[in-house]
Amino acid sequence: MGGENATARPAMTMIVIATLGLASTYLAVPVDWVRASIMVVGGLAAAVAILLFTGRRRPQDPLPSWLLATSIALVTSGQAVALLGQPSPSYADIPRLLAYPAMAGAVIAFQRDRIRHDRASLLDALVVTVAAAQAG
């Protein structure tokens, strides 16, 4: 187990550095197509990282991670299309709307693994997820 943490630390450091670099570039460059490209790269990289981590850890139920990665990829693609100047309603709305059921499914699946009979915690998690999704 000690060796696993030793190899995870440099990888996590690289992820943090890459994320800070992408965020800085996103804020520094005011060109919409560049921002859309950065958003796609960052979002898809996050989704792929979740899938790779899930594949490496091999949980009993990988569905929550798959749903989380799917929702991140859907929101990312919708936001990138919206940055390209599509008026609303547009094709950008389709993946963003499809992301809600995926996010809700991920929350429910993660909750199912943690607490089997506590519906109040499930509802709290769903409220926070929907509120966070509305802010994005």
| Predicted confidence (pLDDT) per residue in 47-81, tens digit | 888 888 888 888 788 888 899 999 999 998 888 78
Copy the structure tokens of residue 64: 């929550």
The residue whose two tokens read 């440099």 is 10
Can you list the residues of the chain whose pLDDT is less than 50? 1-2
- Name the H helices within the chain: 2-28, 32-57, 63-83, 93-114, 119-135
Q: Tell me the pTM.
A: 0.69
Give the separation between CA 63 and CA 54, rounded to whole angstroms.
Answer: 10
Q: How many CB atoms are closer than 10 A to CB 111? A: 19
Give the separation between CA 31 and CA 33, rounded to whole angstroms.
Answer: 6
Q: Which of 130, 93, 136, 91 is nearest to 108 (CA)?
A: 130
